[in-house]
Structure 1
Amino acid sequence: MLDVRKLRLLRELARRGTIAAVADALAYTPSAVSQQLTALERETGVRLLERTGRRVTLTPAAHGLVEHTESILALLEEAATDLENAARALSGVLRIGAFPTAIPTVVTPAIVALSTDNPGLGITVVELDPASVPDALRTEAVDIALIQEYDHVPVAPHPGLQTEPLLEETVHLAARRTESLSALRDTPWIAGTPGTLCHTLTIRACEAAGFTPSIRHHADDFGAVLALVAAGQGAAFVPDLAVSTLPPGVTLTPLPIHRRTHLAHRHGTTNHPAVIAARAALQNAAQTALP
C-alpha cells in the first residue's frame, strides 16, 4: 500500500523542483527526503525519478502519481471532516493565516466571535505574506488563510486549494501632495520586499503609467511605509485597510487599482465544521472592516 507521507513528498518535489527545497519546506533533511522517495520507488516498482548528477526530475509515471495524490489527500481531508462532523462541539486547533493589515481589522473580530461561540476550539493566528499562503496551506502549517491579488498582479489558481471572495479594496497613491501617478516618474518609491505582491504591484503599476520606478526603500509594514512617505522619502501604493491612521503630511489619491482578498483552504476541508465556522466569522468581520 502506498504511504501518504511519501506521496506528499513526491507532490512537493513536483511543485518545488529540488529535494533541498522540499526538505526546507517540510522540516526534513535532504537525505531523509531522498531516502523516502527512493523507498517510494521501491514500493511502486516503477521508476519515478530521473537523476542526472545532482539534478532530479520526475518521470511521466511520477507526474501521474502526483495527480492521484491531490485526489487522495482531498479524500483524507473529507474523511477527517466527516469525523469532526460526528462530534457535538468544535474542538481541536484551527490555524488561521493572514497578512498584517487584516489581523486587526478582519481576523481579530472574527476570532473573538469564534472563541465566544466555540469555547472548545483552540485558535492560532499566523502572520503570513500572501505569497507564502499556498505553501503554508499545502504543508498544513495553516488550515484556512487569506490570499491576495492586485489588478496588476493576478494570482493563478493553486492545485489542491479552494478559494472564495472575501474583500475588495481600493489602492491609493500615498504622497506628500495630490499627484497623478505619471507625475511621480522622477520621485523615489517605497515598496515591499522583493518577491512580495506589493513590490511587484509597484513595478507593474508604474510601468503601466509609462515609467520604471526608482525604489529607494523596502518596507512590508504599511505603517512604516506611510511614515516614510510622511518624512518625504518617496511615494507608495497603499490599500484601504492600511490607511485607518494617516500620518500628518500624507495625501491619498484613489487609483483605479484594486486589491482582492480571498479565503483559501485545502480541497476536502470545505465542510469541516471548524472551517465552516471560520469562513462565516471572517466573512462577517470583512463586511464591517471597511468604512
Structure 2
Amino acid sequence: MLEIRRLRLLAEFAQRGTIAAVADALAYSPSSVSQQLSQLEREVGVALFTQVGRRLQLTPQAELLVVHARAVLDQLEEAEADLARSLTAVGGTVRIAVFQSAAHAVVPQALTILAAEHPGLRVEVTEREPEVGLFEVAARDFDLVIAEQYPGNTRPLHADLDRVPLARDAIRLALPPLLPAPGPGAPRGPVRPAAAGTPGRSATPAPTAAPGPEARIAEAPATGQIPNVLATLLADFAGRPWVLEPAGTASREWAMQLCRGAGFEPDVRFETADLMAHIRLIRSGNAVGLLPDLVWAGEEPSVRLAPLPGDPQREVFSSARLPSASRPAVVAVRDALARAAAASFPAGLGATGTLDGGRPRG
C-alpha cells in the first residue's frame, strides 16, 4: 500500500520542480523530502527520478504515478467537502490569496459578513499577485484566490481550477484634481492647493486653458468621474509623467499596449505595485495614470477620472480547486465576497455588465 504523504510529495515535486521548493512550501527540510521520495522509489520498485545536468526530472513512470497521486488527493478533498456538507454549521479554515486592490476594497467587508453569519469559520488572507495566487491554489497552498485579468490578456487556464466571475471593474485615466493647462510657461510640477474658502479655485491665477481636452476637463468637477462627453484620448497626455505598475505585470503590459496603440510611449517616471501610491502621486499633481474603480473601496474618488476609449474593464474572479469548490466554507466565502463586491463601487462608478453603481444586475 502506497503512503499518501509520499504521494503528495511526488505531486508537489511535479508542481514545483525542485526538492528545495517542495521543502519550502511544506515546511520540511530538503533532506527529509529527499528521504521520503527515495522511500517511495523503493516502495514502487522503479526509478522515479533521473539526473539531467544539475536538476532532477521525473521519469515516465513517475509521471504516471503523479496522475494517480493527484486523483487520490482530489478524492480526499471531495471526501472532506462531503463531510463538511453533512454539518449544520459552516466552520473550518479558508485560506485566501488576494491582489492588493481587492484586499482593500472587497475582503474587509466580506470578513464582516462572515463573522456575523458564520462565527465558527476562520479566514486567513494573504496578499499575492494573481499569477502567484493561481499557482499556489493549484498547489494546495491556498483554498481560494481572488485574481484579475485585463482586456485582451486572458490568464492561463488551470484544468484543476474553476473560475467564478466576481465583478467587471472599469479602468479610467486618472488625473490630478486641478490639472493646469499645457503650453509655454505652464507649471509642470505639483498642483497648488486650493485657497482656503475658495474650493475648486487655485491659490494663484492659473494660465488660460488652451482649447482641447484639458480645457474641457477643467470645466468638470474638481474630483470624481468626468462625464462621458469629456472623454479624452490618451495621446493628449503623452507628455505628462506617468505612474504604472512594475514591468512584467499584466496591468503594466496592458497599459503599455494601450498607450502605444494611441501613438506614444508613456514617460514612466514612477513604478510601483502599490495603487495607494499611484493615487497619492496623481492627487499631488506629479503624475497621471490608469486606475481601476475597485481601488476606491466604495469611497468617493480623490482624483479626476476620465473614461478611456472603448470603456475598457478588467475582470475580477475567484478560483478554487474543483474538488474543494463545493465545500460549504468555500461557498460561504464566495457568497460574502460577491456581496462585498456589489457594494464596493462608489455611486456612478459601477462597472457595466456585472455591477452598476454598486447594485447587482439581475
Please indicate the TM-score interval, normalised by the length of the shorter structure: 0.7 to 0.9
Shift of 1:89: 1.4
CA distance in 2 between counterparts of 1:210 and 1:70 reads 49
User: Structure 2 counterpart of 1:189, which letter?
Assistant: W
Query: Percent of aligned pairs with the same residue?
Result: 37
Show the counterpart of 1:239. 292
Note if contact 1:170-1:254 (Cα within 8 Å) is conserved in structure 2.
Answer: no
Q: Deviations over 1:209-252 (max 9, x none)?
A: 4555453322222121121223444332211111445335x443
Show the counterpart of 1:64. 64
Show the counterpart of 2:28. 28
| Secondary structure of residue in 1 paired with 2:323 | coil
Q: Does 1:7 align with 2:7?
A: yes
User: Structure 2 counterpart of 1:269, which letter?
Assistant: S
CA distance in 2 between counterparts of 1:207 and 1:26 reads 44
Moved more, 164-173 or 15-24: 15-24
CA distance in 2 between counterparts of 1:233 and 1:19 reads 47
Shift of 1:186: 5.1
User: Structure 2 counterpart of 1:203, which letter?
Assistant: M
Shift of 1:131: 2.1
CA distance in 2 between counterparts of 1:38 and 1:57 reads 14
Show the counterpart of 1:215. 268
Query: Structure 1 pair 72/232, CA: closer, same or farther in 2 (3 Å)?
Result: same
CA distance in 2 between counterparts of 1:184 and 1:247 reads 19
Show the counterpart of 2:329. 274
Note if contact 2:77-2:323 (Cα within 8 Å) is conserved in structure 1.
Answer: yes
Q: Does 1:196 align with 2:249?
A: yes
CA distance in 1 between counterparts of 2:39 and 2:254 reads 44
Q: How does 1:116-265 map to 2 (within 5 A)?
A: 116-176=116-176, 179-185=232-238, 187-243=240-296, 244-248=299-303, 250-256=304-310, 257-265=312-320
Runs of 4 or more, structure 1, over 6 Å off, are none
CA distance in 2 between counterparts of 1:60 and 1:97 reads 33
Query: Structure 1 pair 23/191, CA: closer, same or farther in 2 (3 Å)?
Result: farther
Query: Structure 1 pair 209/64, CA: closer, same or farther in 2 (3 Å)?
Result: farther
Query: Structure 1 pair 60/223, CA: closer, same or farther in 2 (3 Å)?
Result: same
Query: Structure 1 pair 46/187, CA: closer, same or farther in 2 (3 Å)?
Result: farther
Gaps of 5+ in 2: 180-213, 215-231, 346-356, 358-362
Shift of 1:187: 4.4
Q: Does 1:79 align with 2:79?
A: yes
Query: Structure 1 pair 221/44, CA: closer, same or farther in 2 (3 Å)?
Result: same
Which structure: larger Rg? 2
Query: Structure 1 pair 204/87, CA: closer, same or farther in 2 (3 Å)?
Result: same
Shift of 1:139: 4.0
CA distance in 1 between counterparts of 2:33 and 2:262 reads 47
| Secondary structure of residue in 2 paired with 1:101 | helix
Query: Structure 1 pair 52/140, CA: closer, same or farther in 2 (3 Å)?
Result: closer
User: Structure 2 counterpart of 1:288, which letter?
Assistant: A
User: Structure 1 counterpart of 2:49, which letter?
Assistant: L
CA distance in 2 between counterparts of 1:16 and 1:186 reads 44
Moved more, 5-14 or 141-150: 5-14
CA distance in 1 between counterparts of 2:42 and 2:260 reads 52
Gaps of 5+ in 1: none
Note if contact 2:233-2:262 (Cα within 8 Å) is conserved in structure 1.
Answer: no
CA distance in 1 between counterparts of 2:56 and 2:238 reads 45
CA distance in 2 between counterparts of 1:205 and 1:17 reads 35
CA distance in 1 between counterparts of 2:157 and 2:91 reads 31
CA distance in 2 between counterparts of 1:211 and 1:8 reads 50
Note if contact 1:77-1:267 (Cα within 8 Å) is conserved in structure 2.
Answer: no
Higher strand share: 1
| Secondary structure of residue in 1 paired with 2:79 | helix
Shift of 1:65: 2.4
| Secondary structure of residue in 1 paired with 2:158 | coil
Show the counterpart of 2:107. 107
Q: Deviations over 1:64-109 (max 9, x none)?
A: 2223333222211110111212222122222233222223432222
Note if contact 1:130-1:197 (Cα within 8 Å) is conserved in structure 2.
Answer: no
CA distance in 2 between counterparts of 1:262 and 1:245 reads 24
User: What TM-score, normalized to structure 1?
Assistant: 0.86
Moved more, 207-216 or 219-228: 207-216
Show the counterpart of 1:45. 45
